[in-house]
Amino acid sequence: MIRALGDKVPKIAESSFISQAAYILGDVVIGERCAAYPGAVVRADFGPIRIGDDVLIEDNVVLHGDPKGLDIGNSVTLGHGAVVNSRRIGNQVLIGMNATVLHESEIGGGRGHDSARRLLRGRRTGADRGQGYPVPVVVGGS
């Protein structure tokens, strides 16, 4: 289901696939060749959500940002059941199944972090691969 929120209407590239059982709400932009599968929720009620090209949003993923918004780069995979309520996910990142990425966190481009992990607050940059539970963070790092 694709729904406006007030005057904010989702903008979705024609080349992208959105399941009828996904829920896209508000100030959302979805780039080229993306897919959102059943149970996915992209809820831009507090701030904008910008999704790049070639992004895979698997079943039951929840994307929700803060007033600053949520930016997701290109060639990103969001694994089944992941919850992303952060500020930024860079290019070529894998967010594994059931991962939780919380408020104000940022993940730079690279290989991302393993499944069933959580990033609390802070920033991971470069081609880091976060491991452990929770994933170690660099607060205020570059």
**What domain range includes position 57?**
2-124
Q: Say what the pTM is.
A: 0.81
What is the arrangement of strands in the sheet containing 35-36, beginning at the earlier edge strand?
A: 17-18, 35-36, 56-57, 77-78, 94-95, 112-113, 129-130
- In CATH, what number is assigned to the domain containing residue 31? 2.160.10.10
* Residue 134 within any structural domain of the chain: no
Query: Tens digit of pLDDT for each residue in 92-118?
Result: 988 989 998 888 788 877 654 433 344
* Residue 140 within any structural domain of the chain: no
* Residue 56 within any structural domain of the chain: yes
* Residue 70 within any structural domain of the chain: yes
- Mean pLDDT over residues 109-130, rounded? 47
Distances (CA, A) of 81 to 34, 64, 90, 96, 102: 17, 13, 19, 9, 14
Query: Tens digit of pLDDT for each residue in 13-67?
Result: 999 999 999 999 999 999 999 999 999 999 999 999 999 999 999 999 999 988 8
* Residue 138 within any structural domain of the chain: no
Contacts 24+ apart (CB under 8 A), 106-115: 109/73, 115/79
Per DSSP, the chain holds a count of helices (H) and strands (E) of 0, 19
* Residue 131 within any structural domain of the chain: no
* Residue 31 within any structural domain of the chain: yes
Do 57 and 35 meet the contact criterion of CB atoms below 8 Å apart?
Answer: yes
- Assign 70 to helix, strand or coil: strand
Number of domains in the chain: 1
Dmax (CA) for the chain in angstroms is 42
